[in-house]
Amino acid sequence: MTRRWLALAGVIVIATLLAFPLRAAVHEAIVIPVAYLLWALGLLYRSLSQEIWWVILVVLVLLILTNSLAPPLRPPGQVPPGSKPALGQVQTFAGWLNKSGSGIYFKWLIANRLGKLAYQILLQRGSGKPRSVFDPLTGPDWHPGTALQDYLQSGLHGSFADFPNARKFLAPPAKTPLDLDVADAVDFLESQIDDSRL
């Protein structure tokens, strides 16, 4: 936001400095042609009767309505372009990983998906006992590190809005629990799946 204000202030200062020396050139190049064009349009408007203007207006409205409501015309035999095929879960997750460096939202999407996976693992370990999604991610033989636990909890129970991405001018972004390396979380969850199958 500060860069925008500095750029705007710079443009205003430059425009102010150039306003007086270029006043005659701007008057000749812009003001006189625009005034002449407006004068000519005013003459054209006054020279035609109101009935003609109403007919022109009705024709324009009918053309716009026809263009909006009529289906697009295609040559015979041309197939309409199809929509893109839906992405699978792995492709979607890979896209989030590629975009995770651009902001907190994609980091949170990844953490949310991994937090839901952790919840499912703990639910399966509970052998059918009811478990709320709002319960903390704890259970028997569940010993992630503190940073990993915060990461999974933030993804499952938090929102990307809890971690604003606002930066100060030339300052690094603030650290959040979502900055954990995704590979560490995936390795831990894989080990928990293997342990649960033993």
Residue 45: left (phi > 0), alpha (psi -120 to 50), or beta? alpha
Give me the pLDDT at residue 198, please: 43
Look at residue 128 and tell me whether its pLDDT is greater than 70: no
Percent of all residues in the chain with a pLDDT value above 90, rounded to a whole number = 13
Residue 72: left (phi > 0), alpha (psi -120 to 50), or beta? beta
Percent of all residues in the chain with a pLDDT value above 70, rounded to a whole number = 85
Give me the pLDDT at residue 196, please: 45
Tokens of 121: 């693992």
Give me the pLDDT at residue 99, please: 81
Q: What is the DSSP code string of 150-161?
A: HHHHHHHH--GG
Give me the pLDDT at residue 79, please: 63
Give me the pLDDT at residue 26, please: 80
Give me the pLDDT at residue 71, please: 76
53-105 pLDDT tens trace: 899 999 999 999 988 888 777 677 666 666 677 778 888 878 888 887 777 88
Residue among 151, 110, 111, 116 nearest 131 (CA): 116
Look at residue 36 and tell me whether its pLDDT is greater than 90: yes
Q: How far apart are the first and last CA of the chain?
A: 54
Mean pLDDT of 112-118: 88
Look at residue 175 and tell me whether its pLDDT is greater than 70: yes
Angstrom distance (rounded) from CA 185 to CA 190:
9
Sequence-ordered list of residues with C-beta below 8 angstroms from that of 138, at least 6 positions apart, any chain? 122
Angstrom distance (rounded) from CA 156 to CA 138:
13
